[in-house]
């Protein structure tokens, strides 16, 4: 029997600590299985709900599902299992991947879902620069800071790792389905989860478990904007426990959105105010000759002026600066908001190229996406 199936079986069992699995991960998985009382083993409710209560049957179905859908299964004994992740407390016994293997030294960038234009720009620029310097960018696929960290790495044509709070084939939140698609088709990036396909994120513990993987994959974690009670603070705490570098961007001392960042700085986290600060800390981990980059190297294009009083949206927009599809989107917006699917059908365009153009314009702050509709921003 394939070792992968044994590892999947072990990874879905209830109470792995009580079974002593983490103390025996250095053994062959079949040998670990032979020490267990098979008849007394159970699976958690979230596994039973999707795959049934019988552990071997559930493991076999998960194994076949991954083969059918072409998801990679990276086990604890696999050569592609990240070495840093093996060092954390209770590491995942199995990782499910879609995309490239996890090879580069990685840096995580985390922060609040309730981001603003300034913090989004900072996250994007940091991710862009760090990715250009040869590091993979890890984040949690959430809206806000996570999203712009992933987008910065993609814009740099670097690697980004989206750690999911549910199965590898589930998108959470749904508003990030375009980002999910972009990462899944990138040659250098990947989506990763410790949960089998089909498991839907819903419980708070799903996100806590995900956060330990985000920091566990990374040589350093950068917190951009985070209130005290945020998931980003949980990731920062994990980074400290895992003895990883913790870097924090300072913010407005009177803005509660930065209260977590200020608390971490008071506790001794490294305050970083420019790209040189970050690279000075990261240089000892680099095994890449990637290009250096400053924050300013990725400044957004000049902001498009707001609509004039007569509603002439394109009056001050230089369409020559944009790609053909971006220009088409901006021209179409001069007539009002529109549905993305209708736009694709009307102009016989590819979904991928339209998605890339929308994301690029969204990053610049020119357009706003709500669900499947595109709106122009009235002020910048």
CB 125 within 8 A of CB 152: yes
For residues 131 and 273, membership in a common domain is answered with: yes
pLDDT tens column, 147-205: 999 999 999 999 999 999 999 998 888 889 999 999 988 889 999 999 999 998 767 67
Where residue 139 falls (left for φ over 0; alpha for ψ -120 to 50; beta otherwise) is beta
Domain CATH code at residue 163: 3.40.50.450
pLDDT at residue 286, as a whole number: 60
Q: Are residues 30 and 170 in the same domain?
A: no
More confident residue, 212 or 341: 212
Domain assignment present for residue 202? The answer is yes
Same domain, yes or no, for 354 and 277? no
Answer yes or no: do 211 and 133 share one domain.
yes
In a domain, 21, yes or no: yes
Tell me whether residue 61 is in a domain: yes
Same domain, residue pair 186 and 333: no
Asked, for residue 151, whether it belongs to a domain, the answer is yes
288, 335: one domain = no
pLDDT value of position 288:
44
By the 8 A CB rule, do 126 and 295 touch?
yes
Q: Percent of the chain scored above 70 by pLDDT?
A: 90
For residue 350, the enclosing domain spans: 319-376
Q: How many domains does the chain have?
A: 3
- The span from the CA of 37 to the CA of 174, in Å, is 41
Tell me the DSSP string of 310-338: T--TTTT--GGGS-HHHHHHHHHHTT--E
Mean pLDDT value across residues 3-19: 96
Quickly state the pLDDT bin for 317 (edges 50, 70, 90): low
Among 50, 70, 90, where does a domain finish?
A: 70
Kindly state the average pLDDT of the residues 113-117: 92
**Could you give phi then psi for residue 28, rounded to 5 degrees?**
-60, 140
Average pLDDT over residues 267-294: 74
Q: Is the pLDDT of residue 292 over 60?
A: no
- 360 lies in some domain: yes
Contact 247, 221 (CB under 8 A): yes
Q: Is 217 among the domain residues?
A: yes
Spatial distance between the Cα atoms of 49 and 317, rounded to a whole number of angstroms: 53
SS3 138: strand
Q: Is residue 312 part of a domain?
A: no
Within-domain flag for 306 = no
pTM for this entry: 0.77
365: left (phi over 0), alpha (psi -120 to 50) or beta: left
- The larger pLDDT score, comparing residue 302 to residue 74, is at 74
- Cα torsion 42, 45, 47, 48: sign: positive
Asked if pLDDT for residue 119 goes beyond 60, the answer is: yes
CATH number, domain with residue 361: 1.10.10
pLDDT at 335: 77
On whether both 42 and 140 belong to a single domain, the answer is no
**Plot region of 255 (φ>0 → left; ψ -120 to 50 → alpha; else → beta):** beta
Distances from the Cα of 12 to the Cαs of 58, 109, 315, in angstroms? 8, 29, 59
> How many Å apart are CA 15 and CA 317, to the nearest integer?
59
Least confident of 230-239, 242-251, 337-346: 337-346
Strand pairing report for 72-75 and 245-248 = unpaired
Contacts of 294 (CB under 8 A, 6+ apart): 129, 274, 275, 276
Q: Do residues 156 and 238 both lie within one domain?
A: yes
Q: What is the structure's pLDDT at 2?
A: 84
- 328 and 291 co-located in one domain: no
H helices within 70-144, ranges in order?
83-86, 117-132
Q: What is the pLDDT of residue 296?
A: 37
Same-domain status, 167 and 43: no
User: Given a cut of 80, is residue 247 above it in pLDDT?
Assistant: yes
Distances (CA, A) of 202 to 165, 166, 208, 214, 218: 8, 8, 12, 18, 25
Number of residues that make up the chain: 380
Q: How far apart are the first and last CA of the chain?
A: 59
Residues 131 and 260 in one domain: yes
Residue 262 sits in the same domain as residue 345: no
Among residues 49, 70, 91, the one where a domain terminates is 70
């Amino acid at each position: 029997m394939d070792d992968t199936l044994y590892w999947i079986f072990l990874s879905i069992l209830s109470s792995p600590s009580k079974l002593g699995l983490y103390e025996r991960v250095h053994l062959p998985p079949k040998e670990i299985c032979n020490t267990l009382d098979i008849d007394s083993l159970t699976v958690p409710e979230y596994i039973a709900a999707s795959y049934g209560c019988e552990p071997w049957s559930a493991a076999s179905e998960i194994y076949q599902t991954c083969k059918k859908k072409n998801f990679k299964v990276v086990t604890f004994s696999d050569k592609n299992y990240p070495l840093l992740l093996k060092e954390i407390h209770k590491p995942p016994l199995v990782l499910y991947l879609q995309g490239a293997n996890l090879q580069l030294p990685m840096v995580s960038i985390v922060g609040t879902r309730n981001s603003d234009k300034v913090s989004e720009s900072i996250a994007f620029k940091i991710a862009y620069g760090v990715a250009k310097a040869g590091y993979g960018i890890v984040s949690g696929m959430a809206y806000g800071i996570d999203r712009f960290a992933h987008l910065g790495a993609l814009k740099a044509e670097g690697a980004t790792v989206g750690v999911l709070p549910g199965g590898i084939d589930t998108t959470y939140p749904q508003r990030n389905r375009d980002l999910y698609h972009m990462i899944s088709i990138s040659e250098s990036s990947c989506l990763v989860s410790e949960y089998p396909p089909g498991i839907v994120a819903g419980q708070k513990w799903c996100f806590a478990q995900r956060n330990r993987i985000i920091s566990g994959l990374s040589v350093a974690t950068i917190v951009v904007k985070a209130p005290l009670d945020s998931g980003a603070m949980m990731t920062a705490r994990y980074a400290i426990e895992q003895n990883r570098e913790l870097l924090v961007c300072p913010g407005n001392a009177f803005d509660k959105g930065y209260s977590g960042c200020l608390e971490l700085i008071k506790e001794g986290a490294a305050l970083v105010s420019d790209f040189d600060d970050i690279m000075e800390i990261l240089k000892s981990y680099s095994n890449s000759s990637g290009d250096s980059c400053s924050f300013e190297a990725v400044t957004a294009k000049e902001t498009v002026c707001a609509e004039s009083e007569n509603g002439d949206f394109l009056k001050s927009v230089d369409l020559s600066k944009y790609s053909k599809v971006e220009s088409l989107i901006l021209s179409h917006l001069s007539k009002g908001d529109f549905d993305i699917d209708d736009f694709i059908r009307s102009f016989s365009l590819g979904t991928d190229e339209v998605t890339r153009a929308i994301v690029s314009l969204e990053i610049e702050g020119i357009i706003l996406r709500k669900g499947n509709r595109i709106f122009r921003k009235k002020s910048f």
